[in-house]
Amino acid sequence: MQKNLREIVENRKFLFFGGKGGVGKTTMAAATATWLADNGYKTLIVATDPTVSLSATYEQKISETEITKIETVKNLCGLNINPKKATGVFQKRLEGMMQGFEGLFGKEAVSTPCAEEMAAFDQFVTYLGDTEHDRVVFDTAPTGKTLRELSMPFDWSVYMTSQINNRKELAVALGVANDEQTLERLKKEKLRYDQAVKSLSDENIAAFNLVLLPERLPIEETARAISDLSNFGVKVPALIVNEVIPPDVLKGNWFLEKRRATQEKYFKEIATRFNGILQKEVPLFETDVYGIQNLRKVGEYLYEQ
């Protein structure tokens, strides 16, 4: 088991924060990116969620197309990928392939896959190849989506390998490879995806942390995410248990005491069920968390204590 979260983020280049919607992924990713930048690491934070949350968190406009300097933090840049706008090579390729399928089997037989997730994933792979920054922090999309994104390159590389090794008829029929040049390009793309997958599952390069609340549903989602990720050879080094009610605020308030008691029941469950994975608690703040001051406060809980 890892010693602490600080050791995890100081020793890995690519840092992910997964988990159910609303548990605090953007907050933890932004707090982490800020802490790393404050500590001298040239850092890039990339959001692949189709929301404006990163801009809201840093209280400034963050571009969807260009890496934007975060004004309040030295060494920190951000990018808010809009999957609706991103049209990666992979997506174009897939669209071509789907048309090919439609031509072969008819329109009804083909359900169009999640183009948005795919476009996001293509961008995501681009930043997994980053050489400009010391650290890249990903504020990932919610669990199910992320897993679909993660699973794509695996299918893709299996598909490509068989297409390249076999006699290419299907590839030709699908319109994805009709000449040597295209095949060469596909080979290069396959290599790019393979490398991305390799860094994702290399625990010395990437850390896929999960954020959860001490509540039934996020716990179940976490369990599923851990098992799904492990199918892809990705180990989860740390869990961040967010919005923990601090005991010193209870002061005989029955409502808070009941909520705290409920949380305690779940701490026990989290400790036993996810035994062997580092667990870090972050308290529930008296306000919502955005803006650089709050992010630095969260960073202190995560990395200084």
Q: Give yes or no for residue 174 binding ligand ADP (CB under 6 A).
A: no
* 181-192 exposure pattern, b = at least 16 Cβ within 10 A, e = fewer: eebeebeebbeb
Span from 22-30, 164-172, 200-208, 229-237 in contact with ligand ADP (CB under 6 A): 22-30
Of residues 22, 40, 103, 247, which one binds ligand ADP by CB under 6 A? 22
Of residues 284, 291, 296, 297, which one binds ligand ADP by CB under 6 A? 284
Q: Give yes or no for residue 222 binding Mg ion (CB under 5 A).
A: no
Q: How far is CA 79 from CA 17, 46, 117, 266, 284, in A?
A: 16, 5, 16, 35, 27
**Least distance (Å) between residue 95 CB and ligand ADP:** 29
Q: Give yes or no for residue 53 binding Mg ion (CB under 5 A).
A: yes
Of residues 13, 14, 18, 26, which one binds Mg ion by CB under 5 A? 26
Q: Tokens for 98, please give them.
A: 């789907």
Q: Are strands 76-80 and 68-69 parallel, antiparallel or unpaired?
A: antiparallel
**Least distance (Å) between residue 96 CB and ligand ADP:** 33
Q: Give yes or no for residue 140 binding Mg ion (CB under 5 A).
A: no
- Element spanning 269, H or E: helix 254-273
Helix (H/G/I), strand (E/B), else coil: 206: strand
φ, ψ for residue 79, nearest 5 deg: -145, 130
Mask 240-259, x = binds ligand ADP (CB under 6 A)?
--xx----------------
**Least distance (Å) between residue 28 CB and ligand ADP:** 7
φ, ψ for residue 207, nearest 5 deg: -125, 120
Whole-angstrom distance, CA of residue 234 vs CA of residue 230? 5
Mask 31-50, x = binds Mg ion (CB under 5 A)?
------------------x-
Mask 42-81, x = binds ligand ADP (CB under 6 A)?
-----------x----------------------------
Whole-angstrom distance, CA of residue 170 vs CA of residue 166? 9
List of residues contacting Mg ion (CB under 5 A) = 25-26, 49, 53
